[in-house]
Amino acid sequence: MNVKHLSVSIDENEIIKDVSFNLNNSDKVGLVGVNGSGKSTLLKALAKEITIDNGNINYLEESIGYLRQEIPHTYDNLTIVNYLKQSTGINKLELKLKQLEENLNEQNMDEYGEILNQFLAIDGYNFNENLTYILNGLCFSKSIDMPIKKLSGGEKIKILLASLLLANNDILLLDEPTNNLDKEAVEWLENYLKKSNKKMIIVSHDEIFLDSIVNKIYELKNGIIEIYSMTYKTYLYEKEQKYQRELEEYEKTLEEKERIKKQIQKSKEWANKGVNKKSYNDNDKLANNYAKEKTNTSNISKLTRSLENLNIPKFETKKDINFFLDYDYGKGKQDIIIDNLVCGYNDFQTPLLNLEIPF
């Protein structure tokens, strides 16, 4: 996949401004950026889910698998297995192969070969075995003959993941793939993607999951992408080092600005003192003041030009996380106390949590 100068707008707001990159063989990319930076928008654009404004996406005849966040209600009455066959396209290929095999001849032989190749590309003959393997890995225990509408939100996510993996596409676009997955399912998916030879772009808040899979980072900021050919942990380290270097440069520039401003002020004060200083000889006084004024005017002009030419780099300081807890002061001091709390789901539970937040 080659992407050149891609731009995308949502409600007249330009979210993606100028994105270019090549997704090469063995690339497993972590797409990162602050909330609202456009990560999901970019994945949708790459998956042809939304219209792009400008630029070009060359898919190089590669098939795209995009992880959607929900199953449309039009599939509610389908059983899980029928939904998976339909979403992966296996049912159509099976039906077409059957029709062609019933009347196979020289005229339809080429078509039969093309459909058969598509069927083999998604490992159609091993569909049931692959389905069982993937659902077991995702810790899905319900019957595959159950209707989609009877599944919980978390169970539907697992079915969407299963559909994506069964389709055997060349490129995987994964937007928060670990949402609603239990610990065992996350670990299985992590190992599955690590072993996969597919190209992929992953958006995830799970840093451990991300770091264990990706070998490249695309940082999306202000509508453009900066590429780091490294793991997620190495990227975090490099980002911190870069931040410290930029902070040092920024602070030095501000210090230089203040130094020049002080020099200008001192030169002006010194010039004023020279003009007001008494002299026994009016001619000497005039000559001295002229020389001093000329020297200081020249000095002040140079300093002023230095100040005007001083390039202060753009720099965004890290923002502290703040939150406000409000309570009724009339009822006196009320701390937040967590006593022996256990959180979890299914077979996963946290240890006992004890915490006191004083006011």
Helix, strand, or coil here: 228? strand
Alpha helix segments (H runs only) across 47-152: 80-88, 90-102, 109-121, 127-137
Digit-coded pLDDT (tens) for 34-93:
888 999 999 999 999 999 999 999 998 899 999 988 899 999 999 999 999 999 999 999
Digit-coded pLDDT (tens) for 130-140:
999 999 999 99
User: Judging by DSSP bridges, how do beta strands 54-58 and 2-10 pair with one another?
Assistant: antiparallel
- How is domain 1-62+170-229 classified at the CATH fold level? Rossmann fold (3.40.50)
Full-model pTM: 0.75
Per mean pLDDT, which range of 88-97, 186-195, 334-343 is the poorest? 334-343
Alpha helix segments (H runs only) across 103-152: 109-121, 127-137
Backbone angles phi, psi at 286, to 5 degrees: -65, -45
Q: What whole-number distance in Å separates Cα of residue 269 and Cα of residue 279?
A: 19
Digit-coded pLDDT (tens) for 79-88:
999 999 999 9
Give the model's pLDDT for residue 327. 59
Higher pLDDT, 293 or 20: 20
Q: What whole-number distance in Å separates Cα of residue 107 and Cα of residue 303?
A: 87
Helix, strand, coil fractions of the chain, as percent rounded to 5 = 50, 20, 30
